[in-house]
Amino acid sequence: MKISPQTVDQPECLSGEKLHSPREVAHMLDLSVETLRLYEREGLFVPYKLSSGHRRFTDEDIEWIKCIQRQIHENKLNFAGIRYLLAMLPCHEMKPCCLEDHETCPAGTKSCRPCWDFEDTPCRIQGENCRTCVVYQQVLNIDNLKQILQVKFKCD
C-alpha cells in the first residue's frame, strides 16, 4: 500500500488560508503544471491534496516553489542537489524519534533524500502526516530552513 505524505482534507491546518490550484500557481510563477508535478515527483515538496485527489497550494507553498526555482536557475543546483540539502534537516532531532526508530529509519544520516520522500520511515508507517510535521514545516519557513541548514539559499 502506498502511504501518502499528503494532507487529505484537514481544514484545521489551513486556518482560512487561500488555496491555489496548480493552474493558478503555474500562471503566477510562469511555469507549467507539468513542472509542478515534476518538482513533486522529485521529492522537493509535498502538496496539499483534497479528498478528490486534486492538489492545492498555500501561499507558503508558492514561496517554497519560488525558492526551488531560484536554486535551479541562480544557484545552478539540480534536483539531486536540492534533495541533498533537504536531507540535511535533522528530522530525528526535530521530532524527536526514539533510538530504535532512528537506527532503522531509511531517512537516516546517510540519506541523500529528504525524509518525506520515503514511504517507509517509521513515522510514515505510523500514519504521520508530512504536511503538518514539524520537519516539513521548516521547509515552508524559508528563513528557519536557511538557519537550520546554514547554507545560502538565495530566496530573497
- Residues lying near ligand SF4 in the complex (CB under 6 A) are found at 5, 91, 95, 115-116, 121, 123-124, 128, 130, 133, 135-136
Minimum distance of ligand SF4 from residue 69's CB (angstroms): 22
Which residue, 45 or 116, has its beta carbon nearer to ligand SF4?
A: 116
Closest CA to 118 of 146, 141, 99, 91: 91
As to burial, measured by CB atoms within 10 angstroms (0-12 exposed, 13-18 middle, 19+ buried), residue 92 is: buried
Which residue, 75 or 137, has its beta carbon nearer to ligand SF4?
A: 137
Grid coordinates belonging to 97: 524519534
Minimum distance of ligand SF4 from residue 32's CB (angstroms): 27
Minimum distance of ligand SF4 from residue 147's CB (angstroms): 18
For residues 57 and 80, what is the distance between their CA atoms, to the nearest angstrom? 23
Residue type at 113? R
Which residue, 36 or 135, has its beta carbon nearer to ligand SF4?
A: 135
